[in-house]
Amino acid sequence: MLIVEDNPGDADILRKLFSELKYNPANLIFADRLSAGLKCAERKDIDIIILDLRLPDSHGLDTLIRVQGVNPYVPIIILTGINDEGTAIEAIHSGAQDYLVKGQIDSQLLSHSIKYSLLRHKVVREIKESSLTDELTGLYTRKGFISFARQQLKIAVRSKGDILLFFIDFDGLKQINDTFGHQEGDNAIKEAARILKETFRDSDIIARFGGDEFAVLVINTLKGSEDVLKNRLKENIEIHNNLKDRKYTISLSSGIARYNATPPDTLDELISKADALMYEHKRKKNRD
């Protein structure tokens, strides 16, 4: 385990907590600068990284990005101060698995965070490394999405994590096919996939669910994130539609369902809710 933390007091607290968890001190590697941490992160025996984003030689999200660039295959837990949780949340959106607030960490919380981060990262890697991807878009297929989503719902029950499911339909694809040919229809699907990749995080699960349907599982959401994501999607669609020399515009209808952990929704129930809301959105657009 690699711990990148420049404050000696905070480093000592972590040593004590790991001692309570009976971790072998020989398996703990400490670095007090990002430069030293990056060298350690290159090691093949690193299983997890605990990373302070405020270091003498690096600050903010750039710290995370540089570590990910050296070793994208290891889960990262962010250390943050009580007044800097906003940056930690942004780090989660950028691919970190979890964050811990200094002064509020005990051995049980630390153990839970490590186990959760390892499990979630393992599931993400298994899906990404499988062949369950759509050849046209590079997104997950329906089968890949269902496989991953079921695992994430199990994790959400234990961790009480908050999850959103976006179900999205491409409006007017048949008209594009009929007017410009199926090759252009394929290009439109690929463009919609690019928009979704720009809108959602790398850690979210984006799939081409059917011919002109997409599904996105948004993990570890926060209060208000639904509106933020809806607006981001709308803005990214507008950016693409404002490009020069366009033959047609992209239009996507979406429905958003929030996962209920008590009692837990099944994946089919969550998909059905989002699908019904998507058709409601589509009907409203047609009326307008």
What is the tens place of the pLDDT at every residue in 76-107? 999 998 777 788 888 888 889 999 999 999 99
CB-based contact 61:94 (threshold 8 Å): yes
Residue 111, classified by CB atoms within 10 Å of its CB into exposed (0-12), middle (13-18) or buried (19+), is middle
Indicate if the pLDDT at residue 212 is higher than 90: yes
The pLDDT assigned to 129 comes to 62
DSSP state at residue 248: S
- List pLDDT tens digits, range 218-276: 987 777 788 899 999 999 999 999 998 899 999 999 999 998 777 778 899 999 999 99
CB-based contact 120:237 (threshold 8 Å): no
Indicate where the chain has its CATH 3.30.70.270 domain(s): 132-287
The pLDDT assigned to 214 comes to 97
* CB within 8 Å of 148: residues ≥ 6 apart: 123, 124, 127, 140, 205, 217
Candidates 3.40.718.10, 3.20.20.80, 3.30.70.260, 3.40.50.2300; CATH matching 2-125: 3.40.50.2300
CB-based contact 41:70 (threshold 8 Å): yes
The pLDDT assigned to 43 comes to 86
DSSP for 188-230, written as a single string:
HHHHHHHHHHHHS-TTSEEEE-SSSEEEEEEES--TTHHHHHH
Tokens representing 187 are 């290009």
The pLDDT assigned to 171 comes to 95
Indicate where the chain has its CATH 3.40.50.2300 domain(s): 2-125
The pLDDT assigned to 33 comes to 95
pLDDT (average), residues 175-191: 92
Q: Give me Rg for the CA atoms of the chain.
A: 21
Q: How far apart are the first and last CA of the chain?
A: 56
- List pLDDT tens digits, range 105-163: 999 999 999 999 998 888 777 766 666 888 899 999 998 899 888 888 877 776 666 88
Sheet holding 252-258, edge to edge: 205-208, 213-219, 163-170, 252-258
Indicate if the pLDDT at residue 46 is higher than 90: yes
The pLDDT assigned to 265 comes to 83
| Nearest by Cα to 271 from 145, 161, 172 | 145
Tell whether domain 132-287 is in CATH 3.40.190.10: no
- List pLDDT tens digits, range 5-34: 999 999 999 999 999 999 888 899 999 999
The pLDDT assigned to 126 comes to 72
The pLDDT assigned to 28 comes to 95
The pLDDT assigned to 156 comes to 72
- List pLDDT tens digits, range 50-81: 999 999 999 888 899 889 878 878 999 999 98
Q: Which helix (H) or strand (E) holds 41?
A: helix 34-41
